[in-house]
């Protein structure tokens, strides 16, 4: 095996590992994939919206409470919390 062939094989290996690593990073960055985490139903993200280029607003439900959280790269801030409202229809104000 000459030097050129060995360098080509090494470059191909680095390229393939780089593609796999980039795909893994992209999936973790732009989706909610988290390896090893199962959905217990106790804690879930109900919705989220981008706040700016580095921060997101998320509504997280934990048990019977919801939390509005501002997430960032170095710090997360709890904005507000409330009890989860039941699935009851809203009252119309009319009596029967």
43 with 60, same domain?
yes
Average pLDDT over residues 11-38: 83
Is 59 in the same domain as 70?
yes
CB 57 within 8 A of CB 51: yes
Least confident of 46-50, 53-57, 91-95: 91-95
Residues 80 and 42 in one domain: yes
Confidence of residue 35 (pLDDT cuts 50, 70, 90): low
Phi, psi of 61 (to 5 degrees): -105, 130
- Is the whole model's pTM more than 0.85, yes or no? no
For residue 53, tell me if it sits in a domain.
Answer: yes
**Do 45 and 29 share a structural domain?**
no
Number of H helices and number of E strands within the chain?
1, 4
pLDDT at 2 over 50: yes
Please check whether residue 19 lies inside any domain of the structure: yes
| Structural domain harbouring 24 | 1-37
Same domain, residue pair 60 and 31: no
């Amino acid at each position: 095996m000459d030097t050129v062939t060995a360098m080509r094989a090494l470059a191909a290996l680095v390229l393939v590992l780089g593609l796999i690593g980039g795909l893994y990073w992209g999936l973790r960055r732009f989706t909610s994939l988290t390896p090893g985490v199962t959905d217990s139903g106790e804690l879930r993200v109900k919705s989220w919206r981008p706040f700016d280029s580095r921060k997101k607003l998320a509504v997280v439900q934990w048990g019977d409470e919801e939390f509005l959280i501002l997430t960032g790269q170095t710090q997360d801030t709890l904005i507000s919390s409330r009890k989860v409202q039941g699935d009851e229809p809203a009252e119309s104000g009319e009596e029967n």
